[in-house]
Structure 1
Amino acid sequence: MPEVTARGTRFHVQTIEPRESTATGPTPCSAAPPPIVVFVHGLVMDNLSSFYYTLAGPVAGAGARAVLYDLRGHGRSDRTSTGYGAGDAVADLFDLLDALGHRRPVYLVANSFGGVIALNAALARPDRVAGLVLIEAYGPSERPGEWTEDMLNTLGKSALVLEYEELADRLLAAGWRRFGRQAATADALVNGTSLLDDLAAVEPVPPAALASLACPVLAVYGEHSDMAEAGHLLLRSVPDCTLHTMAGHAHSVLSEGTAELLEVMLPWLSHHAGTKVPAAVPASPVPESAVPASPVLEGASSRGGAL
C-alpha cells in the first residue's frame, strides 16, 4: 500500500513484511501477529529512504513488520501549506496507522526531529506505543528553546540561501540534478509552508514528562553530537531507558554507524518485542540517491545529516 490518506493528506508509505527465516534457520509460523515497527525520519532533506536502506530490512528480517512513511511535505507525501507542528505530526501518525489497520501498540524508531514526534506520540497515546528507539533524537530538554533555537537558526539560514541565491536553479543548471531536486523540494517546504512558524511553537519535553513515559526507551547518540546531553537526560529521567553512546560519531549515526546501530537495536527489540536476532547482521549499502546530503543543511553545525 504505497499511498494512504490520513487527515485529508496523501502519505507515501512502504511496508516490509516480516521474513520468517533467520541465520539460525526457519522460524515456525506462530499464531501471534508480528510486532509492528514504525520508522519516523527527520526534517527537510530527509525521507523514508534513510531507513529503507539501513535499518528496516534487518528489522523485517528479524520478524517484525516494518512500516515507513514520508512525513507531511517530505519525500513523496503531499506538501500542505500548514500542519508541521509536533501535534499535527502525532495526529498524522496515528491516523495513518488507523488507515493501515494497525491498532495494536507499535514500536517507534525515530531519527533526529522524528524523536520529537515519537516522544510526543508516546506521551499522548501510551496505549498505542509499546517502545521507543530514539536515534540522535531532538525533544528532551530541561530548558525551553534549547534545541529549537539552534534548529530554527539553521533552517532560517538555509531558507535565505535557497530563496535569494536561487540554489536549486543553479544546481540544476550545473547538471547536479539530484541536489537540484532536493534543493527545490527544501525551498518549497521551508519558504512555502508554515514549517518554520510551526517549529518555533514546539515545546521541549521536560524531565517531568519524560518520567511519565510508560514504555521502554533505547536512546542512541553520537559521542561528539551536539545532542548528546539529550541522551543523558533521557537516561536520568525515563524509568526504563537504555543509553548507548557511539564512539567517534556525531549526529549522522544512522548513515555512518548503521552496523553498530543494528548490533544495539536488534537485541533490544528481541528483548522487548520478541523478534529474532540474526547471528550476523550485514549492513545494507546505502545508495547515493538515498543519502540526504546537501551543502544547504549540512555543515551548519557539527551535526551533519538530517535535522
Structure 2
Amino acid sequence: MPEVTARGTRFHVQTMEPHGDVPDPPVVVFVHGLVLDNLSSFYYTLAGPVAAAGARAVLYDLRGHGLSERTPSGYGTADSVADLFAVLDALGETAPVHLVANSYGGVIALNAALARPARVAGLVLIESYGPSERPGEWSEGLLNTVGKSALVLEYERLADQLLAIGWRQRGRQARTADALINGTGLIDDLAAAEPVGPAALATLTCPVLAVYGERSDVISAGRMLLHSVPDCTLHVMSGHAHTVLREGTAELLDVMLPWLSHHAGTKVPVGGSL
C-alpha cells in the first residue's frame, strides 16, 4: 500500500503520472470530504482524466479516513492544512500545486490557500463548505448530518447489521465511520472551526473555479466565492444537488479540464473529457 508518514501520522497516498512524456508536469492534488469519503471518490471520477491531460494527480486519504491512520485527535482545520502540506513535503512536491476539493475538502483547500499562498496555484472547489459571513452558519447542516450518523452508527449498530446481511464493503465503511465519529475528537474539532468570511476571501491570490449544484444546500457559499474572490468563476450545474461529483462527473470535467488547461498548462483530451 503506498503510504507516507507526515507529522507522525501514516497517510495512504496514490499518485497518477501524466500520460506521455511531460517534463515538469503541473501537480493537481485532490482533497476529499468527510467520514464516509476517501480518495476513491476522485480516483474513479476526476483523477484519471486530469492525468490524461498532462498533470501529476496526487490523491490522499485524510487523517482517520480510508486507509490513513486514525488518531484520537488532530481533526481541526489548522491540523488538516498542516497534514496536506506535510504529505506534499513527504512526496517531494514543494512547488505550487492546484487543489481540487469536494464538500468539506473545500474547507481545507481554502484555508490552505490562505495560509500558504505561495504553495497553492489554484483552487477547484466542488460543492465546498466554508465560506460564510456568520460563525456556525456554514457548519450547522454539516454537524447535524454527522451527529445523526454518530447516533445511528453507535446505537443501531449499523456496521454489524450491514455485515450480517453480507454487505461487506458497506459494513467495513460503516465500521470505519463509527470509529472516526464516535472514537475521536472529530465532531468537537468541526464545531470549533471558523468560517472563511468575505474579507479573507478577498485576499486570495490564486484563481478559483467554484462548481455547485443548482439545488445544493450550500450554493450560497458559491455565490459568496463569486462576489468576494478577486479571480473566481462560478459554474452552477442544473438539476443537481450536493452530489455533483458522483452524478455529474462528465459535466464537471467539461468545465474543469479547460480551466486547468488555462491556469495550469494542461491539455483538454481530444475526443471528450472522459
| TM-score bin, normalised by smaller chain | over 0.9
What is the percent sequence identity of the aligned residues? 78
CA separation of 1:247 and 1:140: change in aligned 2, threshold 3 A: same
Match for residue 194 of structure 1?
185
Q: 1:67: which partner in 2?
A: 58
Contact conserved, 1:262 with 1:281, CA < 8 A, in 2? no
Give the aligned partner of residue 4 of structure 2.
4
1:210 matched to 2:240: no
1:166-211: CA deviations, max 9, x gaps? 1111111111111111110110000000000000010000000000
Number of aligned residues:
274
Q: For 2:138 and 2:202, locate their aligned partners in 1 and report how far apart those are by CA, in whole Å.
A: 20
1:97 corresponds, among 88, 96, 102, to 88
Residues 97-246 of structure 1: pairs in structure 2 closer than 5 A: 97-246=88-237
Shift of 1:11: 0.3
TM-score when normalising by structure 2? 0.98
Between structures 1 and 2, the one with greater helix share: 2
SS of equivalent to 2:118: coil
Which of the residues 78, 89, 104 maps onto 2:69?
Answer: 78
Distance 1:193 1:230 in 2: 28
Any unmatched runs of 5+ in structure 1?
Answer: 21-28, 284-307
Q: Which runs of 5+ in 2 are unaligned?
A: none
The alpha-carbon deviation at position 136 of structure 1 amounts to 0.2
Give the CA deviation at 1:142: 1.2
Structure 1 segments (4+ residues) deviating >2 Å: 279-283
Go from structure 1 to structure 2 and tell me whether the alpha carbon gap of 1:282 and 1:133 turns closer, same or farther (over 3 Å shift): closer
Return the letter of the residue paired with 1:229: S
Bigger mean CA deviation after superposition, 163-172 or 67-76: 163-172
Cα deviation code 1:239-297 (max 9, x no counterpart): 000000000000000000000000000000000010011122354xxxxxxxxxxxxxx
What SS is found at the alignment partner of 1:60?
helix
User: Cα RMSD (Å) of the superposition?
Assistant: 1.0
Contact 1:259 1:281 in 2 (8 A): no
TM-score, normalized by length of structure 1? 0.88
Which deviates more, 178-187 or 119-128? 178-187
Give the CA deviation at 1:147.
2.1
Q: Which has the higher contact order (CA 8 A, sep 6+)?
A: 1
